[in-house]
Amino acid sequence: MYNETFLRRAIEISAKALETPGTEPFGAVIVKDGKIVGEGINRSVMNHDPTSHGETEAIRDACRNLETVDLRGCELYSSCEPCALCVAAMNIAGIAALYYAADMAQAGGAIADLPEAARFPVDVDRLTHECGHAVTERIMPSEQHLDVEATKILHDWASLARSRV
């Protein structure tokens, strides 16, 4: 259930980008049972990691703090509507609900007049297209090779996992 305190904390984290070089103004918190269990700010430039978004950093922090990769039952509060990469990470982790402040259009409007060198290098429309289509329908060229060998390892791993349960 929405709690304004947690969204305000995500916005507060995003504001740290105003004074912290290498960060961008996207903050997030993960909440479980009414308590913040993870926080993150976009550190893509600082970490030389294009996946270091506020939401993914909060997910990583929560997973470390809870010593699990299963965040079912957790909520994510973000200062901005998450991109497709972050939505995918949220779904993989099992996040139950999302609450956000600025939407994509508002974020785009805020940076629209920035010089090209200062803009985020992400084409949000392309990212959304690529994530929403089968590999054969994407813009990025893709080819499949060595599937038999890779699939054998997947089956072997699954057999081992079944035997451990």
Q: What is the pLDDT along the chain (165 residues), one digit of tens a residue?
A: 999 999 999 999 999 999 999 999 999 999 999 999 999 999 999 999 999 999 999 999 999 999 999 999 999 999 999 998 999 999 999 999 999 999 888 887 777 777 765 656 667 777 777 778 787 887 888 888 998 898 889 888 888 888 987
Q: What is the pTM of this model?
A: 0.84
Tell me if the domain spanning 4-121 has CATH number 3.40.140.10: yes
pLDDT of residue 63: 98
pLDDT of residue 120: 60
| Local structure of 113: helix, strand or coil | coil
Report the 10 Å Cβ neighbour count for 141. Answer: 5
Which of 55, 57, 75, 81 is catalytic? The answer is 55
Residue 153, CA atoms < 13 Å, CB-side half-sphere: 4
Residue 64, CA atoms < 13 Å, CB-side half-sphere: 9
Annotated catalytic, 55?
A: yes
Measure the CA–CA gap between 42 and 24, rounded to whole angstroms. 5
Domain spans of the chain?
4-121
